[in-house]
Amino acid sequence: MDCALPSTVSHGWRSICVGRDLLKPHVGRAIGDGKTTRVWSEPWISLDRQACPMGPPSEKTKDMLVAELLSPNTNSWDRKKLQEIIPQHENEILELQPSKLGAHDKYIWTPSESGIYSAKSGYYESLKTSEEESEGLENQTQDFDWIKNIWKVNTSQKTKMLMWRTMNGALPVGENLRARNINLNIICPHCGGEETTEHLLFHCTYAAQIWRKIPSKEQIEPMRIDTFKAGLELSPSIVCLPPTGIGEGPIFPWIVWAIWIARKNQLIFENCRQSQEETLTKALVAAREWQSAQHQIKRKEQNQSQAGRRDFSRGNLTRNRRGTTCKTDAAWRGDNKSAGFGWVFYNTMPDQREELIQQGEGATSHIRSPVMAEGMAMLMAFTRARDIGINTITIASDLLQLIKAINKESSSKELHGILHDILDLSLVFDSISFVHVAREANRQADGLAKNALRNFCSEPV
């Protein structure tokens, strides 16, 4: 991560180093047992940004590991050591929840909630740090809502990428190729005019006739569109008439795609001139087929969601008649970062009545978020279940994000140590399952959590 880039280096290694330079300012450490993270030289005290403790360290503590700031008996933060060594970061560190059962420290990508790097999050971070933008592009993209106008448009990924490239001046039309000294010929292959992005997509007689022939409620005049940004902003007004089968779905991206393909594939590479009617028909057919496929996917997801809600219903929990069900919940206050926890153990009788076995509550401070509070509540309930000798258990929470994280469907950087301890504790049970329960069915645990927080704060919640 710290090697220098020589003046003469291969293209592959240079590309790797470009990616490394993007990662370095945003990589942090999530603390598990603290045995592989150095206190002074690695960014670990924040999950949201890259931050190391302020120095300089003393000769005695310069090579100290984070594990040395934990109490050896409880694996909780040793507040006396924190106050002696890094008192200015005490509150921030106390909001981190280390593992009590030996989770390893791990690297995290701080810009994302999961802590996992994705191309999308990397792209947005590169936009924030990029300083080399052309003046013309800055003027065009100033105050442009990329999310609304491109990435959240209900269209295919290939058309989104084409619009993104066009907005960034990266479409290989004659003007852009000449600016890069690739091709000095900037003649439009359709009409012989000067080929700019706006000319190809709107002003060329070939493209203009396509826009005018769209079967839409309101027609746009392509010759009045002076930038691609202006065309994008007009696109919501282009709503196709019912016979096309497209409905409220956008047609603008598909027209742009069809015009570009007609120029790039058919005309340039295949020397095949496509009529305006054929190009428009291909755009309408592609839009209709894609919209139809999305409706099918949406119906399938709705059916799965309904089935999932049935699985998480009270009726599903009562099927586990031989075991115990534990419902957990948490209440959190953002002003003082404190949280209350509640849990209820019960058996389900043959007539589906819930027979209370035991209930409990607790509270603590320095909890950084509601998600962490829910995780702590489950961990405390889990520990209690082990202590009272329960062997078969169903754990229910009304926080779906937590259930998904436990079932390995998602990840969370702030729950790193907590999730490890929950999964480690689960090994002592003969049978265990984690399910989501509706908030209305979790009122008893919710009441216990709020009561614990109220007593802890000594004032109404």
Per-residue pLDDT tens digits for 87-112? 999 999 999 999 999 999 999 999 99
Q: Is the pLDDT of residue 269 over 80?
A: no
Taking CA 399 as the corner, what is the angle to CA 106 and CA 409, rounded to the nearest 5 degrees? Answer: 50
Omega prior to 56 cis, within 30 of 0: yes
Task: Identify the DSSP state of 92.
Answer: H
Q: Is the pLDDT of residue 308 over 60?
A: no
Per-residue pLDDT tens digits for 370-404? 999 999 999 999 999 999 999 999 999 999 999 99
| Strand partners for 248 | none
Structure tokens at 259: 């015009």
Do the Cβ atoms of 317 and 396 come closer than 8 Å?
yes
CATH of domain 319-457: 3.30.420.10
Q: What integer is the mean pLDDT of 122-137?
A: 64
> How do 354-364 and 338-348 pair as beta strands?
antiparallel
The phi-psi region of residue 75 (left if phi > 0; otherwise alpha if psi is between -120 and 50; otherwise beta) is left
Residue with tokens 């003393």: 58
Mean pLDDT of the chain: 86
Structure tokens at 218: 């309101």
**pLDDT (0 to 100) of residue 312:** 40
Which among 110, 90, 120, 118 has a CA at the least distance from the CA of 30? Answer: 110
Residue 180, SS3? coil
Q: What integer is the mean pLDDT of 61-80?
A: 93
Which among 52, 93, 40, 87 has a CA at the least distance from the CA of 70? Answer: 93
Q: Is the pLDDT of residue 145 over 80?
A: yes
What's the pLDDT band for 422 if we cut at 50, 70, 90? Answer: very high
Handedness of CA 175, 180, 181, 182 (dihedral sign): negative
Which among 377, 314, 326 has a CA at the least distance from the CA of 356? Answer: 326
What's the pLDDT band for 188 if we cut at 50, 70, 90? Answer: confident
- pTM exceeding the 0.95 threshold for the entire prediction: no
Per-residue pLDDT tens digits for 336-372? 999 999 999 998 777 777 789 999 999 999 999 999 9
Per-domain residue ranges of the chain: 11-109, 137-292, 319-457
Do the Cβ atoms of 188 and 175 come closer than 8 Å?
no
- Taking CA atoms, 27 is separated from 48, 104, 128, in Å, by 10, 16, 16
Q: Is the pLDDT of residue 309 over 60?
A: no
Identify residue 307 by its one-letter amino acid code: A
Handedness of CA 423, 428, 434, 440 (dihedral sign): negative
| Strand partners for 109 | 27
Q: How far apart are CA 112 and CA 131, in angstroms?
A: 22
Query: Residue ranges of the alpha helices (H) in 48-96?
Result: 79-85, 90-94
